[in-house]
Amino acid sequence: MSATIIDGKAFAATVRAKVGKHVAHLKAEHGITPGLAVVLVGEDPASEVYVRNKGKQTLEVGMVSFEHKLDASTSQEDLLALIAQLNADPSVHGILCQLPVPDHIDSNTILNAIDPAKDVDGFHILNVGLLGTGQKSMVPCTPLGCLMMLREHHGSLSGLDAVVVGRSNIVGKPMAQLLLGDSCTVTIAHSRTKDLAEVCRRADIVVAAVGRPRMVQGDWIKPGATVIDVGINRVQHPDDPAKMKLVGDVDFASCVEVAGAITPVPGGVGPMTIACLLANTVTACCRANGVAEPEGLTA
Ligand code: NDP
């Protein structure tokens, strides 16, 4: 058996099209253009690529993109002043501070300084609490993208056994909350979990968010289960040692033979993350202006 490949790239294009349609509606009917501000501190090359892609896609769906690139030596005080300015700016509906920030800046202080209504990453403590208590919140983009793909593939997730491998604040924990919200029976696994392979084998859904190349093996997967690979790991290219290649946390070659459905890396969760950032921005803009939110773009 070979699994259905869940095409995150194609699905992300449909999400962006939906966002674009709603942006056009907001402009035509309400005279509002959603705006997304992205703040990058320092010169981390991977972050620069993400920020460039975010800016490009923001413009493509018809929104305004505000990019703030700050020197690595920027003080926490100056960064907080910029966040306060963006919080107060009515043309900015979403604010994202690209992580990681340099060591002299406390990331929690920055994330909690962002107006929760503009917190399109969903990392503010208020949004974490709202999500945890099943209330309307801004939902972190990567787990939201995973949830959308799972709903699209399964329809209802109710009653399914889900294992989330990884318990980070940005992926594992919110992913588990979202699956619980859709009535899955959820297990959160981590580095201290005993017999992880056996835990995964019980699951109808395995979400891997670990940061370890190809860790989840085919014989960890229940036949027919759905495997969502969040991992992005750079490893040496097998054909050219001078080049790097992206692989996930899942051993695709062995898992694709057992799973019912699986996301590839690249082209799975990654494209959905940016699409969900745009979705969150349009949602934030609608909420700020008391306009009906688009259907199907949030949890
Ligand atoms: P973190 O490093 O913050 O968390 C990793 C988690 O994996 C931790 O909870 C850790 O457990 C757990 N873990 C580590 N080793 C093992 C192991 N051997 N067995 C079981 N669990 C283990 O990572 P993130 O959550 O930020 O990211 C995870 C992956 O997802 C990375 O590859 C990252 O690049 C990728 N990512 C992809 C995104 C996308 O858009 N596609 C967005 C964000 C992240 P413990 O808590 O016990 O240490």
Calculate how far, in angstroms, residue 232's C-alpha sits from the geometric centre of ligand 1. Answer: 9
Residue 122 in any domain: the answer is no
Q: Is 135 a catalytic residue?
A: no
Calculate how far, in angstroms, residue 86's C-alpha sits from the geometric centre of ligand 1. Answer: 30
Residue 69 in any domain: the answer is yes
Query: Are 153 and 72 contained in the same domain?
Result: no
117, 150, 184: which is the final residue of a domain?
A: 117
How many other CB atoms sit within 10 Å of the CB of residue 236?
11
Residue 62 in any domain: the answer is yes
Confidence at residue 84, expressed as pLDDT on a 0 to 100 scale: 98
Query: Are 170 and 109 contained in the same domain?
Result: no
Calculate how far, in angstroms, residue 219's C-alpha sits from the geometric centre of ligand 1. Answer: 21
Q: What is the pTM of this model?
A: 0.98
The tally of domains found in the chain comes to: 2
Residue 146 in any domain: the answer is yes
- Kindly state if the Cβ of 70 falls inside 6 Å of ligand 1: no
Query: Are 86 and 154 contained in the same domain?
Result: no
Calculate how far, in angstroms, residue 168's C-alpha sits from the geometric centre of ligand 1. Answer: 6
Query: Are 148 and 104 contained in the same domain?
Result: no
Per-residue pLDDT of the chain (299 residues; tens, 9 = 90+): 699 999 999 999 999 999 999 999 999 999 999 999 999 999 998 899 999 999 999 999 999 999 999 999 999 999 999 999 999 999 999 999 999 999 999 999 999 999 999 999 999 999 999 999 999 999 999 999 999 999 999 999 999 999 999 999 999 999 999 999 999 999 999 999 999 999 999 999 999 999 999 999 999 999 999 999 999 999 999 899 999 999 999 999 999 999 999 999 999 999 999 999 999 999 999 999 999 999 999 99
Query: Are 262 and 152 contained in the same domain?
Result: yes
- Kindly state if the Cβ of 217 falls inside 6 Å of ligand 1: no
Cβ-contact 227, 4 below 8 angstroms: no
Query: Are 186 and 259 contained in the same domain?
Result: yes
- Kindly state if the Cβ of 171 falls inside 6 Å of ligand 1: yes
* DSSP H/E element including 65: strand 64-70
- Kindly state if the Cβ of 192 falls inside 6 Å of ligand 1: yes
CB-count burial class (<10 Å; 0-12, 13-18, 19+) for 188: buried
How many other CB atoms sit within 10 Å of the CB of residue 9?
14
Query: Are 72 and 147 contained in the same domain?
Result: no
Query: Are 154 and 226 contained in the same domain?
Result: yes
Residue 9 in any domain: the answer is no
CA 102 vs CA 16, 43, 79: distances in Å: 31, 10, 11
Closest to 138 measured CA to CA, from 169, 112, 116: 116
Query: Are 156 and 265 contained in the same domain?
Result: yes
Query: Are 187 and 99 contained in the same domain?
Result: no
Confidence at residue 2, expressed as pLDDT on a 0 to 100 scale: 92
Q: Is 115 a catalytic residue?
A: no
Phi-psi category of 62—alpha, beta or left, where left has phi over 0 and alpha has psi -120 to 50? Answer: left
Which residue, by CA, sits nearest to atom 35 of ligand 1? 231
Confidence at residue 1, expressed as pLDDT on a 0 to 100 scale: 66
Give the type of residue at 129: G
Q: Are strands 226-229 and 205-208 parallel, antiparallel or unpaired?
A: parallel
* DSSP H/E element including 35: strand 35-41
Domain that holds residue 69: 29-117
Query: Are 95 and 152 contained in the same domain?
Result: no
How many other CB atoms sit within 10 Å of the CB of residue 61?
23
Query: Are 250 and 147 contained in the same domain?
Result: yes
Residue 221 in any domain: the answer is yes
Our measurement of the distance from residue 157's CA atom to the centroid of its chain's CA atoms, rounded to an integer in Å, reads 19
The CATH number of residue 193's host domain is 3.40.50.720
Q: Is 54 a catalytic residue?
A: yes
Our measurement of the distance from residue 194's CA atom to the centroid of its chain's CA atoms, rounded to an integer in Å, reads 27
Q: Which residues contact 78 (CB under 8 A, 6 or more apart)?
A: 70
Residue 1 in any domain: the answer is no
Mutate to test the pocket of ligand 1, among 49, 199, 210 (most ligand atoms within 8 A of CB): 210
Calculate how far, in angstroms, residue 172's C-alpha sits from the geometric centre of ligand 1. Answer: 7
- Kindly state if the Cβ of 212 falls inside 6 Å of ligand 1: yes
Phi-psi category of 99—alpha, beta or left, where left has phi over 0 and alpha has psi -120 to 50? Answer: beta
Choose, from 121, 182, 204, 251, the residue flagged as catalytic. 121
Q: Which residues pair with 163 in a beta bridge?
A: 187, 206
